[in-house]
Amino acid sequence: MCFRPSVVVVRHGSVTLQHASSLSFVDVTTCEQWLSLKSRATRGAVAPLAELFASEPSRTQAMSIELNVDGQSILIDASKQNVDKEVFCELAGLAMRAAVADARDAMLSGAVVNTSEVQPALHTALRAPRGSRVDVNGVNVVDEVWSVRDKVSALAHDVREGRRVGATGKRITDVVNIGIGGSDLGPALVYSALSTTRDPQVRVSFVSNVDPTNVTHVLAALDPASTLVVVCSKSFSTAETLANARIAQQWLADALGREAVAHHTIAVTVDASKVAASGIAASTVLSMWSWVGGRYSVSSAVNVCNAIAFGADAIDQFLGGMRAMDEHFATEPFERNAPMVLGLIGVWNRSFLGRGSHAMVPYSDALSLFPAYLQQLEMESNGKSVSRDGEVIETETAPVIWGGVGTNAQHAFMQLIHQGTSTVPVTFIGVARPTTAHHEEHTALVANMIAQSAALAFGRSHEDPARAMAGNRPSTTILLSALTPSTLGALIALFEHVVFVQGCVWGINSFDQWGVELGKKLAHEVAAELVSGSPGASRDASSIQLQKWYLQHTSRA
């Protein structure tokens, strides 16, 4: 039997990883397990959920995994997914044929898994224990990581204690984080989540969109003399981030003088050589590494704003939770390995059952930004149609990730999920322990989440067809005993690894994003044409019309 109940205790230990230099990939779409799963899906061989629960008394226990992380618990209940024992066993075999465990070990040890850019993907090294070892080109990168972590901790401590002050001597009360994508979504999620359980000693505002309304609105509410600006850009060439940084620096200069700008600005980047030209002192640059993708960078110095807001200890706990999930992913066997199980259920839903979207519905206002965070993590990683070997992928890959916070979602889009013509898998996320004194209302919140998962799974019969619900709609529910830095870190790392598992099965390089790069290149060209007032003659007719219309209505024609 492939199912078995499991309670997994995850501890923060020391891990030494040996360097691996290569990674082999396997096309599994013609293997026995893939063809069998395809046949099962086509025949509708999996019984409805109501029948599965009736025929498998231990189903809930068998398809649930409980993890203990830093004294807190995380329960992952996948029993309401359209998966039976046979499908689960075939998925386990598929993971073996795809060499997912080997790929995992290679990634964790520093192998070149980002093959198109010839880079490792070592976001896990950012939370490795001090004194452990991960070699890249003969260099132990963990030592470098901890050097930066110590620098972040010292900066955060100095700001929080009032030793790092503004140019006029005012204490820093506000931080403006300027970044986009992973340099914004991750830190913003952490700030939103932790702000509900602890008061930030320093307030943080986030600026991401190149629309100047965003940065103008944020800065208008702040005092330049007590504001620290953090510019996060891995390449330090991201157009949106640099445009917003220029506006913020001019705002500082207008109020405090040009010489004060460097005193009120720090940078987080791989390329420190580009920072000097922007008026930021080299001594205030916090390093990133080329082997960490932006959407995986929340465990890097990109999170410095939250170290300042909540203290370095909170971020250490956050990284400890991520490390706990890393160790769980690295060591637990398939049937007790949460990223493996959720990742392969996701492959089943997408590639075999043809479910084109996945709704993330946290029943926690603190986690309201989680759907947007996961959108980038999953869709930018696995939203691809070409394999690592350059071949067209013949199966469906990443679904569209969307969602919203409960209970609001029940009054917005849950109607479609209950009775629409498309089956949409849902992941519910809840928190057992309330963050306020309003326990009765919190109980109602969690009750709504549990009720939604039950209604989706089992539906109801009714003589009026419009009021009947067929049920058999799949969902997974994740419950945190409490929302702490550790459980938040573990939750984020869980989905990092889910994405990796799915990318391995699909044969995708989950660590590049060439579609994004093309958009950046074209935007640069079109912007130059708009500034010159002359649309490029080689553009398509629609784009030329749009440029001319824009120029006409901005009086530039």
* Tens-place pLDDT, residues 37-55: 999 999 998 999 999 999 9
Is a pLDDT exceeding 90 seen at residue 519?
no
Is a pLDDT exceeding 50 seen at residue 365?
yes
Is a pLDDT exceeding 80 seen at residue 15?
no
Three-state secondary structure call for residue 539: coil
Average confidence (pLDDT) over 509-529: 90
Is a pLDDT exceeding 50 seen at residue 20?
no
Is a pLDDT exceeding 60 seen at residue 16?
no
* Tens-place pLDDT, residues 287-330: 999 999 999 999 999 999 999 999 999 999 999 999 999 999 99
Q: What does the pLDDT read at residue 555?
A: 72
Closest by alpha carbon to 343, among 498, 463, 452?
498
Is a pLDDT exceeding 60 seen at residue 206?
yes
Average confidence (pLDDT) over 60-81: 97
Average confidence (pLDDT) over 125-140: 94
Average confidence (pLDDT) over 516-522: 87
Average confidence (pLDDT) over 424-452: 96
Confidence of residue 196 (pLDDT cuts 50, 70, 90): confident
Instruction: Respond yes or no: is residue 85 known to be catalytic.
Output: no
Is a pLDDT exceeding 80 seen at residue 18?
no
Q: What does the pLDDT read at residue 557?
A: 43
Inter-residue contact 11 to 319 (CB < 8 Å): no
The residue annotated as part of the active site, out of 327, 332, 378, 380, is: 380
The residue annotated as part of the active site, out of 217, 438, 520, 524, is: 520
Task: Give the integer Cα–Cα distance in Å for 132 and 153.
Answer: 20
* Tens-place pLDDT, residues 212-241: 999 999 999 999 999 999 999 999 988 999
Mean pLDDT of the chain: 93
Instruction: Respond yes or no: is residue 274 known to be catalytic.
Output: no
Q: What does the pLDDT read at residue 517?
A: 84
Rg for the chain, CA atoms, rounded: 24
Contacting residues for 250 by C-beta, under 8 A, at least 6 apart: none
The residue annotated as part of the active site, out of 32, 161, 411, 462, is: 411
Is a pLDDT exceeding 60 seen at residue 177?
yes
Separate counts of helices (H) and strands (E) for the chain = 19, 14
Query: What percent of the chain lies above the pLDDT cut of 70?
Result: 95
Is a pLDDT exceeding 50 seen at residue 149?
yes
Task: Give the integer Cα–Cα distance in Å for 106 and 430.
Answer: 33
SS3 content of the chain, % helix, strand, coil (to 5): 50, 15, 35
β-pairing, 6-10 with 64-69?
parallel
Q: What does the pLDDT read at residue 87?
A: 97
* Tens-place pLDDT, residues 278-291: 878 888 899 999 99
Q: Between 496 and 138, name the one with better pLDDT.
A: 496
Instruction: Respond yes or no: is residue 411 known to be catalytic.
Output: yes
Q: What does the pLDDT read at residue 70?
A: 94
Three-state secondary structure call for residue 211: coil
Is a pLDDT exceeding 60 seen at residue 19?
no
